[in-house]
A and B are shown apart, each in its own frame.
Chain A
Amino acid sequence: MINLRRYTLIRNIVLVWLSLVLLAAFLLNIPKINILEHTARNLYFHVPMWFTMMAAVFVSAYHSFQVLRSGDIVRDIRALQAARVGAFFGVLGLVTGIVWSKFTWYVGTDVWWNFDPRQSMVSLQLLIYGAYFVLRGALDDPNKRARIAAVYNLFAATTTPFLLYVIPRQMDSLHPGAEGNPAFSEITHPIMRLVFYPAIVGFIGMFWVLYTQRVRTALIKHRVTHDPEL
C-alpha cells in the first residue's frame, strides 16, 4: 500500500534538503531592513509553515472527498493523518509568528498577543480543525465515522483559504499582505527567494514524511484491531 523504497528515498532527500536550507538561511547575506533586521530570515521558517498547512489541507480534503465517493477506510486514515500533521504545522506557524511579532511589532511593550486579524483568523482556523478531531472521537463505528468526518472535513477545508488569506487581507493588520501593508512579492529581495522557495518544498516534504509515518502506523493498527483511529 505504501512504497517503502520510495518513502525511504524521499525521506533521505528531505532531510539533506532541509539541512542545506537551514545552512543557507543563516549563511547567505540579506539586505538590511529597518525593524526586521535579521528576523527577515524568519521568512524561510515561519511562512513555509503556512504553505505546508495549506498543502496538508488539500491532501486531507482530497482524501475526504474520496471517502465520500468510495467509503474506503484507508482514505479516511489518510484524511485524518494529513489533517493532524497539517494542524501541527499550523500551531508551529502560529507560535513562531507570536515570537516574531513580539520582537518586531510589539518591541518595547509588554504585548505578546494583540488580536491582530491575521492571528485571530488562523486561531479560529485551528479551532475548526480541533473540532474535527473531537467529532471523530465522538463516533464509534469506523465506517460511519469516516463518512461524517469526511463531510465536516470538507467544510473545514473550504473555510481555510478565506480565514488564512482572504479575510485578513481586507482588514487593518500589521502583517504583510494586509490593507496598507506591502505583500511578499513587492518587498522580497531575489536572494531571499533563493532560500525561501526551497524551504517551502523542504517543509512540505517534511510534512509528507511525518504524514506517511503516521499512515503506516494507522494501517497496521487497522489490520490488527479493525479500528484505524490513531
Chain B
Amino acid sequence: MSGQQSIRDTFFEECEELLEALVEGLAEMEDPDHSKETVNAVFRAVHSIKGGAGAFGLDELVHFAHTFETVLDKVRSDTLEADPDLLKLFQRSGDQLANLVEAARDDKDPNRDAQAVVLGELQKYLGAEDAEEEIVFDAMGLDFGAELVLPDLLDIEDTSDSSESADSSDGQSSLKIAIRFAPKRSLFENGHEPLLLFDAIAELGTLTVSADTSAIPAFAAFDPAEPGIIWKLTLETSESETVLHEVFEFVDSLCDIDIKVQQQEKQSAAPSETIEAEQPKAQAAPDVPEASAAPEAPEMSPERPARGPVKQPAPSSSAASAPANTAAAADRDHRGPKPTLRVDLDRVDRLINTVGELIINQAMIVQRIEELDLPSGANLTNELEAYKLLARDIQEGVMAIRAQPVKPLFQRMSRIVREASDATGKNARMVTVGDATEVDKTVIERLADPLTHMVRNAVDHGLESPEKRRAMGKDEIGTIRMSAAHRSGSVFIEIGDDGAGLNRPRILETAIKKGLIAPDAELSETEIDNLLFLPGFSTAAEVSALSGRGVGMDVVKNAVQALGGRVSITSTPGRGTTFTIILPLTLAVMDGFVISVAQETMVIPIASILETITPHARDLHRIGMYGEVLRVRGRYVPIVDVAQNLGLQRNVDTNGNGVLLLVETEMQELNALRVDAIHDQRQVVIKSLESNYGRIPGVSAATILGDGKIALILDPEELVKLNSDDVAPMPIIANQEDLHHAFHS
C-alpha cells in the first residue's frame, strides 16, 4: 500500500517538473522562431502526465491531457498553426492541467466549469475523426503487485497512445519501416520488456521480428546481464513514423535504436528475407539457447555474474539515418535527464543543523586556542584559518542545496494573473525578471500564499478596467511585473502593477471609518500606504469574489515577517503600485557584528549596517529631554540607544558615547544605534527563540557563540520602532559630562 503511495507521490513530483517544462515550452512557443523541439517538449510533458495519470486511474486528468495532447500533436505535425489565439488557449490548458493535477493530488474536486470551457475550445480544433476517440488503457488497475508493473503499464499506455494517434495521421499509403533495436543493459534493469514493445508495434501493422545474435560473445565470456541480441524489425504500417517513435519514447535512452523508412509499400518488394539473411548462423551455434534467455536474466539475478570484459552490443553504425531519425536523436539529447537527485528534505535539514553545530564548534575551538595565548605566528593559526574557511565552504554548499530558483513560484503566479484577469474581465500580462534567483526552499514554499494574494490584488485592485486604461492613454493590457534579485545579503522580491496607484484619500477614509486611525490624524503618504497592512483593512469597495477572501494584507505582512522579512509599498498615482518583499538570504546563518550592550554580548546583522561611527562629542546634540541626534555629514540622525530600548540598564561608567551603527529603515530613514563596543565580525548560526519561548521585541533570534553562550541577534528595524512608539523613554542617569555637553551644544 505504502509502496503504491510512494509511486503516486513520485508521479506528482514528476508532474510538477513536467508542468514546469510545459509552461517553459509554451512560453518559448510564443517566439515565432521556436524550434520544432519546443513543441515536442510540450507534447511530451502533456503526454507523460497523461501516461502517469492513466496508471493511477485519474480519468478526468487523462481525458483532459489527451485532448490537449491531440491538439498539440496537430501543431507538431504541422497540420495546425500555433497562432496567438491557440497559444493563449494552450496557456489556459496548461493552467487547467495544473489545476487537475493539484486536484488529483489533494483529492479535491477540480473546477470543472473552467475546465469544461477550455476543453470545449480545445475540441473545436479537433476534427470529427479525432474528437471522440476512445482512450483505452488495458491494464489500468491500481493493483500494484510486482515492482515491475509500472514500466509495463507505461509500455501498454504507449500502445493505446499509438493507436489513438493513428487517427491524427493521414493514414493513406502504407510505409515499410526497418527498425534496428539494440537494448542496453539499463533497459532490462529498468524492467522494460522488449516483447511488450514489439507487441505494441505489432498493433501498428504487420511486423516481422528477427534476432541478430552475432554480438553474443562466446560462452566463456558470456554475461547473462548483458543483452546480446540485436533485434531487427520490419513493420508494414499505415501509421506515420512518429507513432513508432512514441512507442520507443520511454526507452529511447535505454537502447540504441535506428528507425529507417525503407520505401513506400507500392515499391516494396523485398520481404523480410533480406533481414533474415543477415543473421549469421555460424558463430552463434552454442550460445543461442542462453542468448534467448539473456534479456530476462537481469531481472532474476541483479548481481553481475560475469567478469570478463563484455562488449556492449555494437552501436548502430548506419550513418544513413532518415531525417526523422536525427530528429529523434536531437530529441534524446534534449531530453537527456538533468543530473539531479531527489533527496528527502529531512536529510538535508539534518545536515544543515549539523553544519550549524560545526560552525559553532569551530568558533569554540578558535576561542579555546586564543585562550591558550600561543606565541603569535604559530602554524596553528594558519591551520585554524583554513579550518574556518572549510567550515564556511561546507556551510555554503549545504545551504545551496536548499536554495531553489524562484521560477516555479513565478510561473504559478503567471497562472494566477491569467485566472484573475479572466475573473475580473481585465487584460493583464505577466512579466518576470530574475526568475533564476535562488531562494531557500522554505521561503519559496511559505511565499506562495502571500504572493498569490498580492498578485490577485494587483490585478483586481491595482489594474484599471481596459476601458479606463484606454481612456487614460495606457496600453489596454496591464502589466504585472514580478522580479527577484539578490541585493546586499537579502532577497528582494517585487510585485508591481502599472495600474492607477493607491487611492490614498479612500484608504484614509476607510481607515477612519473603521476606527483604525483618529479622524484628525495627519499622515504622510508612506504612513497612509502602510495602513493597508493593518489588520481588518480592505479597500475593495465591495468585496469581490476574487481577492476578498477574508485575508488582508496584514496576513501577507505576518507571513513575510515570520520569514524574517519585511514588506513595503511604493505607489505613484496613475503609474502603479509596487510591493517590495525583502527577505534574508537563508534562514540558517548570517554575517553579524558581535557587539556589547550593557555588558551583554549581542549580534547585529551586518547587512543592515551602513556605517559604523565612533562619534566625536561635537557631533552629538541633545534635543528635548531625552532625544539625541548625531550629525553625519551635515545631516542630523536620531540616536537610538540599544540598551535603553531593550530595557537594560546602561552602565554609565563605560565611556558615554560608545559606538554608533548607522542603519537605514525600510522607510529610508537613517538612525544611529548606540552600542558599547564592536568586538568581532563573524558568521553566526541563527537559532529561533520562538520555538521554545516566544517573540521578544527588538530581537530577531539568538545564536550560540564560541564560548557556548547564547547571544541575542538584534533586529535594527524593530529597535528603531521601539524607540518611536512602544518604549517610554527611560531617563538615563546622565553623567556630568553628558549634561555638560547638552548644555553647551
Q: Do A and B come from one complex?
A: no
Interface of A with B (CB < 8 Å)?
Answer: none
